[in-house]
Structure 1
Amino acid sequence: MKSLFDSIKINSMISKNRFVRSATWENMTETGYMNEKLLSIYEELAKGEIGLILTGYANIVKEEQPNAGMFGIYDDSFIEGYKELCDKVHKYDSRIVLQMAYGGTKTTYNVGERIIFAPSNIPEKGTGTQGKEMTKDEIKYIVNAFAQGARRAKESGFDGVEIHGAHTYLINQFLSPYYNKREDEYGGSLDNRMRFLIEIYEEMRKVVGKDYPILLKLTSTDFFQGGLTFSETREICKKMEEIGIDAIELSGNLHGKGESLIGESFDEYKIQNEGYFSEFAKVVSKEIKIPVITVGGIKTFEATEDLLNNSNIEMFAISRPLLTEPDLIKRWKNGDKKKVKCIRCSKCRNKDGNYCILIKR
């Protein structure tokens, strides 16, 4: 029987257990740089025995910030602050991976004050934000920005990087036939729609080397008619494994709506009460050999352990419950297996930072 407290290897990185703190937008830095409040949050998570911490996403170019309070990784001035962050996390034998993103039109922040890139002239469904269809030179610019962000992450001491290719951010939009209407080599067939993601990965790999972990976050399906389907996501996962990606995190694009959609089917697979997207992850984990991470809706130790032992899913990512209980994994490890205290009210997204309103700040 496999244990949730087994160590697990992702390329050269070894996580001491199978629990992941999924990338969480803290909204606690006005400049994009580390500060004492953020350092304290991450140190507390590491003390809480989480094996792998994924940071909130960092913007890769200065002019593109999808939300207020995001990390930055767009120039070398960020490296010193991140060194301190990584040192604090490593002190407790946790691993930390920097998530990087270009948000694109999945934003209402400072719209009209900046150019926002998109694959095609299609507004994002939720925000209505219109982007500029990218030229090939602009595509190269963003590909290079991801690569240089990975270089800075490695120099900072992060144990790896994660490419955010989910949640209708720019990479996801290139993958999606709804958003990508291009007629050049970046549009049309799935192979063409994957080209942007593949170029990003390959440039990153050139910069960081073959032994440095590069993870990828993908949307299981776009969850709407005409969008990316799960069958296409499965093909993307196989291709990315083939070219060298080290782990895949399968998510959704529901943003707090998971509880209301439990039991509903999308592309013939249901949203689950425990592990919303675990049915999708189960399928992919049978088709590829690299670690598959499921995220969303983890509520009990017993159900998570059951998922581990009745699928090929290797790791389990948690976000909101760790806002309520940063020491949740330590509690479970010490034998207190009660369910998470988080009630999934989604009231943790606040203008002055993301925090659980059920506990004292």
Structure 2
Amino acid sequence: MIETEKESVLFDPLNIGKMTIPGRIIKTATTETMSTEDGFVTDELVAFYEHYADAGTALIITGNFYTQRSGRVYNKMPGADHDDKIAGMKQLVDIVHQHGSKICAQLSHAGRQVFQPAAAEDPVSASAVTDKFSGVKPREMSIDEIRSFVDGFARAAERCQRAGFDAIQIHAAQGYLLSQFLTPYTNRRRDAYGGSFEKRLRILLDILHAVRERVGEDFPVLVKLNGDDALPLRKGLKTQELVAIARVLEEHGVAAVEISVGHYESGFPTICGNFNLFLKTLLNDGVGREYPRFKQLAMRLSQSILAAISNWLWPHREGFNLKYAEQFKRALKIPVICVGGFSGQKAMAEAISSGQCDAISIARAMIADPYLVRHIRRRETGPKCEFCSACLAHIGTRAVNCFHPKVSAERVLMIAREKSLPNECTS
């Protein structure tokens, strides 16, 4: 079937530094909970990503790899902290490349945003500011620890390059450690890494320089940034200052930025949707089971009210971060990728053709339908995400999957059918 000019924009090539991807639909980072307890890649993790590559997804950004074990967000998270992880990472890369897709490793450190106590026994952050969502109070990192972290990050990037990844993405969004350093509310230091705009940005620039020394100038480095910290009544970053950060990063050789929103403490602006099943799952079968008993009781008693408020404050809409992304697009020459609730071909194509962003990235709709790109190309219908976010409620407790009863049943049947079809990523 012939594509119209507007529809074909989704399959136009895009240059990200020295890397060219054959389309504008990207699989964004998804927490998988599929590695071993020691952070090694498993066959299950490889099979999870093979679906996206088989579907012809232009670029796959993995769930976050930790650069130091102390930076784990959750249990069964993959690591890039030692050379012994390279073989498993290469296995993942090779299967993706066999299908013609590109793959980018996301690197991160949790800082104070730890889902499970076992993930980080000694949480650290820019400053000792308690996370009101999890109740975790970190300790402030010392200068020596910062230097060790920067070096560990650079070494992890080099391991990703050695494993064959096409790029890396530095996670400096959504309230993780680097986001904690950028944000005045979570960074109250009075040394070389806190206070002014330049000092709060220093750790990220230190990492960029250290990474470049190890991977060279041609290896693409992407950065994930917030479009807004969404921290009302607190000293969070607004879009204007985040755009200024992105402009500095561009000057220092960053190949592209991906725009998200919020911290854990913000509530749920990062996952706009319907929260009834999410909250139920979180408490009954998710990480909420590990909350202190008084917190579990309070949430259970107020669950219906919390769901109603969340549904009102953060309803689902496609491209809910576009209002931020387009401001980055106007200020930058490098590609701007927008994540946030995309699922339909029309909304994706409009976001790009209107100049609001250069590419879109997807998590939940691709969990529901790993073959979404193939279905868009063929104008076919696959399982449609209901944005219940039950998949996210299982982070750290069960392997990522669709847990919506109707959609997940459709997903099982669809995968069995689609696996037998040819890869069309270059058609």
User: TM (normalized to structure 2)?
Assistant: 0.79
Task: State the percentage of identical aligned residues.
Answer: 32
For structure 1, list consecutive stretches of 5 or more residues without a partner in the other structure.
Answer: 266-270
The answer for the alignment partner of 2:181 in structure 1 is 174
Query: Once the 2 structures are TM-superposed, how far is the Cα of residue 299 of structure 1 from its aligned partner?
Result: 2.3
Letter in 2 for 1:210: E
CA distance in 2, matches of 1:131, 1:159: 34
Query: Once the 2 structures are TM-superposed, how far is the Cα of residue 105 of structure 1 from its aligned partner?
Result: 0.7
Match of 1:193 among 170, 191, 200: 200
* Other structure's SS at 1:171 match: helix
Query: Once the 2 structures are TM-superposed, how far is the Cα of residue 11 of structure 1 from its aligned partner?
Result: 1.2
8 Å contact 1:111–1:129 — kept in the other structure?
Answer: no
Letter in 1 for 2:255: D
1:7 and 2:53 equivalent? no
Query: Once the 2 structures are TM-superposed, how far is the Cα of residue 110 of structure 1 from its aligned partner?
Result: 2.2
* Other structure's SS at 2:251 match: helix
CA distance in 2, matches of 1:354, 1:128: 25
* Other structure's SS at 2:70 match: coil
Deviations 1:228-278 (A, max 9, x none): 12111010011100111000000013366413679979xxxxx98221101
The answer for the alignment partner of 1:21 in structure 2 is 27
Match of 1:288 among 316, 319, 332: 332
Query: Once the 2 structures are TM-superposed, how far is the Cα of residue 113 of structure 1 from its aligned partner?
Result: 6.5
The answer for the alignment partner of 2:253 in structure 1 is 244
1:356 and 2:402 equivalent? yes
- Relative to structure 1, is the Cα distance of residues 112 and 28 closer, same or farther in structure 2, using a 3 angstrom cutoff? closer
1:216 and 2:240 equivalent? no
Aligned length: 355
CA distance in 2, matches of 1:74, 1:112: 15
CA distance in 2, matches of 1:235, 1:263: 31
The answer for the alignment partner of 2:244 in structure 1 is 235
Query: Once the 2 structures are TM-superposed, how far is the Cα of residue 46 of structure 1 from its aligned partner?
Result: 0.2
8 Å contact 1:247–1:293 — kept in the other structure?
Answer: yes
- Relative to structure 1, is the Cα distance of residues 11 and 163 closer, same or farther in structure 2, using a 3 angstrom cutoff? same
Deviations 1:55-114 (A, max 9, x none): 010111123322012111000001111111111101111000000000011114226962
The answer for the alignment partner of 2:272 in structure 1 is 258
- Relative to structure 1, is the Cα distance of residues 200 and 263 closer, same or farther in structure 2, using a 3 angstrom cutoff? farther
- Relative to structure 1, is the Cα distance of residues 49 and 255 closer, same or farther in structure 2, using a 3 angstrom cutoff? farther
* Other structure's SS at 1:279 match: helix
- Relative to structure 1, is the Cα distance of residues 148 and 212 closer, same or farther in structure 2, using a 3 angstrom cutoff? same
8 Å contact 2:15–2:21 — kept in the other structure?
Answer: yes
Query: Once the 2 structures are TM-superposed, how far is the Cα of residue 320 of structure 1 from its aligned partner?
Result: 0.8
The answer to which of 114-123 and 147-156 deviates more is: 114-123
The answer to which of 85-94 and 306-315 deviates more is: 306-315
1:83 and 2:127 equivalent? no
Match of 1:344 among 369, 384, 387: 387
1:313 and 2:357 equivalent? yes
* Other structure's SS at 1:249 match: strand
The answer for the alignment partner of 1:268 in structure 2 is none
CA distance in 1, matches of 2:269, 2:400: 14
- Relative to structure 1, is the Cα distance of residues 313 and 108 closer, same or farther in structure 2, using a 3 angstrom cutoff? closer
CA distance in 1, matches of 2:13, 2:162: 25
8 Å contact 1:263–1:273 — kept in the other structure?
Answer: no
* Other structure's SS at 2:408 match: coil
* Other structure's SS at 1:63 match: helix
* Other structure's SS at 1:354 match: coil
Query: Once the 2 structures are TM-superposed, how far is the Cα of residue 39 of structure 1 from its aligned partner?
Result: 1.0
8 Å contact 1:272–1:279 — kept in the other structure?
Answer: no
For structure 2, list consecutive stretches of 5 or more residues without a partner in the other structure.
Answer: 263-267, 275-309, 413-427
CA distance in 2, matches of 1:39, 1:296: 25
More strand by share: 1
* Other structure's SS at 2:162 match: helix
Deviations 1:166-200 (A, max 9, x none): 11111001000101111112111111110111111
The answer for the alignment partner of 1:322 in structure 2 is 366
User: TM (normalized to structure 1)?
Assistant: 0.93
How do 1:70-219 and structure 2 match up within 5 A? 70-110=77-117, 114-219=121-226
Deviations 1:106-146 (A, max 9, x none): 11422696222211111123212111111111110110111
8 Å contact 1:95–1:159 — kept in the other structure?
Answer: yes
Query: Once the 2 structures are TM-superposed, how far is the Cα of residue 339 of structure 1 from its aligned partner?
Result: 8.4
The answer to which of 52-61 and 338-347 deviates more is: 338-347
8 Å contact 1:48–1:327 — kept in the other structure?
Answer: yes
Letter in 2 for 1:4: L
8 Å contact 1:48–1:326 — kept in the other structure?
Answer: yes
* Other structure's SS at 2:148 match: helix
8 Å contact 2:72–2:120 — kept in the other structure?
Answer: no
8 Å contact 2:161–2:167 — kept in the other structure?
Answer: yes
CA RMSD of aligned residues (A): 2.0
More helix by share: 2
